[in-house]
C-alpha cells in the first residue's frame, strides 16, 4: 500500500497532537507503518525530524528530536518480535511431541 494511501486510511499517522502526546503516539505511528510495510516512514522521521539540527529546552520535545524515541521503539519492537518467535517455536515444539 502506498504511503499516501496509508496516511489517508489511518488518521493516527497524521493526527495533530500535543508534544506530550507525541511520546505515546510516535511509537504507535511507527508500529502502524511497520505493519503495513512502510519502514520508510520511520526512516523519513529519522531523516526529517532527527536529522534536522534543531534543539529544544523542553525534555519531551528534545526526546522526540534526537532520535532516542526511534531507538527506544526499535528495541521494544525487536523484543516483541523475539517474544512472538519464541511463542511460535514453543507451540510448534508442543505440537510435534
- pTM comes to 0.68
Set of cell numbers at residue 38: 512502510
Residue 75: predicted pLDDT: 94
Residue 18: predicted pLDDT: 67
Mean pLDDT, each 10-residue run in order, the chain (97 residues): 55 61 83 86 84 81 86 93 92 80
Measured at the alpha carbon of residue 33, what is the angle toward residues 32 and 35, in degrees to the nearest 5?
65
Q: Which domain holds residue 73?
A: 3-96
Reduced to 3 states (helix: H, G, I; strand: E, B; else coil), residue 76 is helix
Q: Provide the domain count of the chain.
A: 1
Reduced to 3 states (helix: H, G, I; strand: E, B; else coil), residue 44 is helix
The CA R_g of the chain, rounded to the nearest whole Å, is: 17
Residue 97: predicted pLDDT: 59
Amino acid at each position: 500500500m502506498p504511503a499516501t494511501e496509508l496516511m489517508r486510511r489511518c488518521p493516527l499517522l497524521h493526527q495533530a497532537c500535543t508534544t506530550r502526546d507525541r511520546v505515546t503516539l510516535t511509537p504507535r505511528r511507527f508500529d502502524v507503518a511497520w505493519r503495513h510495510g512502510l519502514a520508510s516512514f520511520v526512516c523519513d522521521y529519522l531523516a526529517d525530524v532527527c536529522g534536522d539540527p534543531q534543539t529544544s529546552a523542553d525534555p519531551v520535545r528534545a526526546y522526540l528530536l534526537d532520535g532516542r524515541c526511534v531507538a527506544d521503539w526499535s528495541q521494544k519492537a525487536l523484543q516483541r518480535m523475539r517474544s512472538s518467535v519464541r511463542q511460535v517455536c514453543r507451540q510448534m515444539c508442543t505440537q510435534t511431541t
